[in-house]
Chain A
Amino acid sequence: AQSVTQLDSQVPVFEEAPVELRCNYSSSVSVYLFWYVQYPNQGLQLLLKYLSGSTLVKGINGFEAEFNKSQTSFHLRKPSVHISDTAEYFCAVSELRETSGSRLTFGEGTQLTVNP
C-alpha cells in the first residue's frame, strides 16, 4: 500500500524568504505525485503534479517541486513567499493501477504561515 509522509506539520517563515516543504512517499509500484493547497474552509487546489519526464516541475503561484526517485521524495519549494501563501499544503500520491482510478493518498499536511 502507498503512503505519504510530510515531515513538518508546521512551517513558519518570514515574507520574501525561501521555503521548502518536505514530502516522502512509499509505494511498491510506479506513482504519480501531486501537491495541493487548501485555504481555510475551502476545497483543495492543485499546485503542481509529476506524471513523467523532467523531475523538476513548475506549478502555479511560483511553486516548484523536484521528484527524486532514489530518495522517494517530492519536496515543494518557493524562492520567495508572500503573506498570501499562508495555507495548508498537502502532498499526495497516485499509484499506477487501473483498478484504483486516480485515487489519491494524502499526507497529513503542512501548515505554512508567512509572517510579515
Chain B
Amino acid sequence: DTGVSQDPRHKITKRGQNVTFRCDPISEHNRLYWYRQTLGQGPEFLTYFQNEAQLEKSRLLSDRFSAERPKGSFSTLEIQRTEQGDSAMYLCASSQSTSRELFFGEGSRLTVL
C-alpha cells in the first residue's frame, strides 16, 4: 500500500524533552500538511510544504516547533522542550498540486507527562 505513513503512532514523553515525528506521504504527492488535533476538537492547520519549500505556517506553530521536508519526500515535525499543552494527535496529510483532496495518515499521538 502507498498510503500516508506516520511514525511513531504513540509517544509518551516527560515535560521538557524533545520529540520528533516522521511522515511519509503518498509517493507522487508534492504537497504535505501537518495538523494538530486535541481531544474533542477538529484538526488545526500547522504548516504546509510544496516539494521541499515550507510555504505557510500557522500562528499555532510556536518557536518550539519546527518542520522540515529536506528532499521533498518525507517530512519531520520536531517539538522542543515539550509542554503538557502539546499533548495531542499530530496528523500528516498529502495531496497532489492538481487536486483539492487531502489524504491523511493514522496520526501520531503525543502524551506529555
Contact = CB atoms under 8 A, between A and B. Distances in A.
B43 A44 contact: yes
A42 B31 contact: no
B101 A90 contact: no
A58 to B, nearest CB: 15
A99 B31 contact: no
A43 B107 contact: yes
B41 interface: yes
B65 interface: no
A102 B33 CA distance: 9
A69 interface: no
A94 B100 contact: yes
A51 B107 CA distance: 26
Question: For the side of the interface on A, what is the size category?
Answer: 20 to 34
Contacts of B107: 41-43
Contacts of A32: 100
Contacts of B104: 36, 43-45
Nearest to A50: B100
B25 interface: no
Question: For the side of the interface on B, what is the size category?
Answer: 20 to 34
Contacts of A109: 40-42
Contacts of B2: none
A70 interface: no
B82 interface: no
A60 to B, nearest CB: 13
Q: Which 5 A-B pairs have the closest CB atoms?
A: A106-B42, A43-B104, A44-B104, A43-B106, A102-B100
Interface of B: 4, 31, 33, 40-45, 48, 50, 55-56, 91, 93, 95, 97, 99-107, 109
7 contacts: A42-B107, A103-B56, A105-B45, A106-B42, A106-B43, A109-B41, A109-B42
Given A42-B106, A106-B43, 13 more contacts: A44-B91, A46-B102, A49-B101, A90-B43, A92-B42, A99-B56, A101-B50, A102-B31, A103-B33, A104-B43, A106-B42, A108-B40, A109-B40
